[in-house]
Amino acid sequence: MNWTRRAWLSALPAGALTLASRGALAHVSAGAVEPLVPAPDAWVVDATGQRQKLGTLMQGRVTALQTMFTGCSSVCPLQGAMFGAVQQGLADKRGKYPMQLLSLSIDPLGDTPPAMQAWLRRMGAGRAWRGVIPSGDVMALRGTLAGRPPSENLDKHATQVYFFDASARMCWRSQALPQPEDVVNVMAFLARA
């Protein structure tokens, strides 16, 4: 199926779109990140149970990162569908450039590697789309990504995509709920830079 913004939006219930448009998405900091911000110094566990530093996981690949949690029934399925569309859009570019999609849980107490595996399966994740669960201070991690203090309410997490270059430095933040083709274009641009 050729995923367009209209296709992935129509695949979701209207209630999810209503929740996605609330205050959680307003007043986001988007655009170029200057100066570049190194990947947060955080340990993560991936869906297979492997533990490593977030920056190490990103080294050598352009990475688009989204925040989510597996128990979310509002915007996270929408974000997963969007990454599914991005994954399809990257299919012909990944052979030329090392790129990956990364879903970062913001609920380390509720999420487990098996829950992350199940969520990735439901979203149709391929080999270049990984899911990780952080250990440590999630609020600080979210603040670093957003460039401002985050909401303490998990349901009000950002729906932005955070872009990291192959040196694991954040260089771009998207608008809330970006279009899949915009994510693909930013990733391809960063891979060529």
Each residue's pLDDT expressed in tens, for the chain with a length of 193 residues: 344 434 433 444 433 333 333 333 334 478 999 999 999 999 999 999 999 999 999 999 999 999 999 999 989 999 999 999 999 999 877 667 899 999 999 999 999 999 999 999 999 999 999 999 999 889 889 989 988 877 676 556 789 999 999 999 999 999 999 999 999 999 999 998 8
Residues 6+ apart with CB under 8 A from 29: 146, 147, 148, 173
Do 142 and 67 form a contact (C-beta atoms < 8 A)?
A: yes
**What is the reported pTM?**
0.83
Q: Which two tokens stand for residue 94?
A: 């990944």
User: What is the pLDDT, as a whole number, of residue 19?
Assistant: 35
Boundaries of every domain in the chain: 30-192
Residue 44 bridge partners (DSSP): 52, 134
In whole angstroms, what is the distance from residue 32 CA to residue 22 CA?
A: 24
Predicted pLDDT of residue 99:
95
CATH superfamily of 30-192: Glutaredoxin (3.40.30.10)
- Closest C-alpha to 75, from 162, 178, 163, 181: 178
